[in-house]
Amino acid sequence: MSGGGPRYAPFEGKPVEAESFLLDVRKEKIDRVVEQRTRTFTVVLDRLEDSFNMAAVLRTCEAMGVQEVHVVINPEAPFLPNSRVAQGCDKWLDVKLYKTFAECREHLKERGFALYASAIREGATSLYSMRFDSKVAIIFGNERFGVSEEVLAGVDGTFWIPMRGFSQSINISAAASACVSRVMAWREEHLGKVGDLSEAEAQTLRERFYVLSLKQRKRIFKGKQP
């Protein structure tokens, strides 16, 4: 699913005429956001439990330019990000839900992603020595148990965030924030930019954002559902 969930899906694929309802300053803002969006770096959440963490990670990803978030659902805790924390950021994202990690892995592998799980274990790579000039997905696990054994068996590698204090672990949302910030800084430093959408991808996303920016979109597009 895209656009953060089912409640946003009906507004996709609308004609670019939505642009005529927006002020130039808003269109310029949308253009800047789209220019800095990436689909070659993504975050995977493995069976999270806490709605605050779910929302906080989404908000970090949206704010930093990550367009896609992939979610392996916890069968005991539905994926329902805290709305007060998310602040509506999910509508700007492509949030894809999976029943199993195998489904998620297959989807990302078919698109050429390398998968790395956050886990402190022998052989894990420091986040600061990783490269991000190709398609990379980083995986964060359950708040209590970390990533599953299935994830560890199916990834290309593991990584850890070097810590210099007495504490050797941080909350999942804090870890995601640190990692996404590091990735984007690395890409800007080494690639000269963060965004990497093709012209077609950028145009599609731009048109979607135009529609989602309209407060009266339900009324404006009434009767025009595909």
- Is residue 20 annotated as involved in ligand binding? no
On the 0-12 / 13-18 / 19+ scale of CB atoms within 10 A, 200 is exposed
- Is residue 173 annotated as involved in ligand binding? no
Domain 18-217: assigned CATH number: 3.40.1280.10
Alpha helices in the chain (DSSP H): 24-35, 51-64, 83-86, 101-110, 149-154, 172-191, 199-212, 217-220
pTM value surpassing 0.75: yes
Q: Is the pLDDT of residue 111 over 90?
A: yes
**pLDDT at residue 79, as a whole number:** 97
Angle ∠(66,38,84) on CA atoms, nearest 5: 20
Q: What is the DSSP letter of 105?
A: H
Q: Is the pLDDT of residue 155 over 80?
A: yes
Question: What are 38-87's pLDDT values in tens digits?
Answer: 999 999 999 999 999 999 999 999 999 999 999 999 999 999 999 999 99
Question: What are 114-123's pLDDT values in tens digits?
Answer: 999 999 899 9
Q: Is the pLDDT of residue 189 over 80?
A: yes
Task: Over range 168-176, report the average pLDDT.
Answer: 94
**pLDDT at residue 215, as a whole number:** 73
**pLDDT at residue 169, as a whole number:** 87
Question: What are 5-32's pLDDT values in tens digits?
Answer: 555 555 555 544 677 678 889 999 999 9
Task: Over range 172-200, report the average pLDDT.
Answer: 97
SS3 of the chain: helix, strand, coil, percent, to 5: 45, 15, 40
* Cβ(54)–Cβ(77) below 8 Å: no
On the 0-12 / 13-18 / 19+ scale of CB atoms within 10 A, 20 is exposed
Angle ∠(14,15,16) on CA atoms, nearest 5: 120
- Confidence category of residue 225, pLDDT binned at 50, 70, 90: very low
- Give CA–CA dist 226/92, Å, rounded: 20
Query: In sequence order, what are the beta bridge partners of 158?
Result: 117
Nearest to 46 by CA among 143, 168, 156: 143
SS3 157: strand
Task: Over range 198-208, report the average pLDDT.
Answer: 96
Token pair for residue 180? Answer: 């996404």
Nearest to 37 by CA among 58, 16, 63, 60: 63
Domain boundaries along the sequence of the chain? 18-217
